[in-house]
């Protein structure tokens, strides 16, 4: 039976880094890099972790040091946040040789994730999921182009970062699964429609669960223009 156990994770200034580490059967490892206002307990991230815990995976959900200290803007702490995440990855990956590794980033977490991938902090065999990345921003696009890990991207048509041309451009950079979510905003909500919001969250959870477990996403092919669900 699994249990929640603390890891010796620290911020750059030596404080304890808030996190939730669930140790299951170690059939795989999921690491969650949350958004600025969408934590690891946000619906899509929470239910993804629960699904993988049910399949015997260990899961690590992080909070960033600047969030714990209520220190803003986050851009003033970008370098140390990246270092904290890299150290956390090194700590948890060093515990054992996991047969499967999945890392999911949400918004800000996607910027950190592509940097960690490009720096070699993420194994090339790991599967990575980018939820609502800032498409069109060089902080994401240029670095994503240089990554090699199998990838999944999800973004809604009401997201401020959504642009059909930008989606097609990032999909042409390298092979990836791309899910465009009709009507969803940056928080994966469909304004004024709870049922549609739940369908969006369910779609993302189903996609990412299948991707991390099998390397494939039912109903999607890896990106080749035209993208089927645009």
The per-residue pLDDT for range 46-90, each reduced to its tens digit, is: 999 999 999 999 999 999 999 988 888 888 888 899 999 999 999
- Specify the CATH number for the domain of residue 42: 3.40.50.1820
Residue 29 counted as domain residue: yes
* Confidence label for 227 from pLDDT (cuts 50, 70 and 90): very low
User: Which residues share a beta bridge with 179?
Assistant: 154
Residue 224 counted as domain residue: no
Total structural domains within the chain: 1
Cβ neighbour number for residue 94 with a 10 Å cutoff: 8
Whether the per-residue pLDDT at 226 is higher than 80: the answer is: no
Instruction: Write out the two tokens for 100.
Output: 């499967």
Residue 225 counted as domain residue: no
Whether the per-residue pLDDT at 229 is higher than 70: the answer is: no
Residue 185 counted as domain residue: yes
Residue 163 counted as domain residue: yes
Residue 146 counted as domain residue: yes
Report the predicted TM-score, pTM, of the whole model to 2 decimal places: 0.93
CA atoms within 13 A on the CB side of 225: 11
Residue 229 counted as domain residue: no
Q: Across all residues in the chain, what is the average pLDDT?
A: 93
Convert 106-121 to b/e letters by CB count within 10 Å (16 or more is b).
bbbbbbbbbbbbbeeb
Residue 95 counted as domain residue: yes
96-120 pLDDT per residue, tens: 999 999 999 999 999 999 999 999 9
Domain that holds residue 16: 3-214
């Amino acid at each position: 039976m699994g249990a929640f156990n603390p890891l010796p994770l620290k911020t750059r200034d030596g404080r304890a880094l808030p996190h939730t580490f669930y140790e299951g059967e170690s059939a795989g490892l999921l690491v969650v890099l949350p958004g600025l206002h969408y934590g690891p307990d946000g619906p899509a991230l929470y239910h993804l972790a629960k699904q993988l815990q049910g399949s015997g995976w260990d899961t690590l959900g992080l909070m960033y040091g600047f969030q714990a200290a209520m220190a803003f803007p986050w851009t003033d702490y970008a370098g140390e946040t990246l270092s904290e995440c890299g150290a956390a990855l090194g700590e948890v990956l060093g515990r054992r040789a996991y047969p499967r590794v999945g890392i999911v980033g949400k918004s800000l977490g996607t910027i950190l994730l592509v940097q960690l991938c490009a720096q070699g902090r993420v194994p090339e065999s790991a599967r990575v999921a980018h939820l609502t990345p800032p498409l069109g921003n060089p902080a994401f696009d240029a670095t994503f182009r240089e990554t090699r890990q199998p990838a999944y991207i999800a973004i809604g048509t009401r997201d401020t970062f959504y642009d059909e041309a930008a989606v097609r451009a990032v999909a042409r950079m390298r092979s990836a699964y791309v899910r465009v979510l009709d009507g969803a905003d940056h928080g994966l909500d469909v304004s004024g429609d709870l049922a549609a919001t739940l369908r969006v969250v369910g779609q993302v959870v189903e996609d990412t669960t299948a991707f991390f477990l099998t390397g494939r996403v039912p109903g999607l092919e890896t990106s080749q223009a035209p993208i089927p669900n645009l």
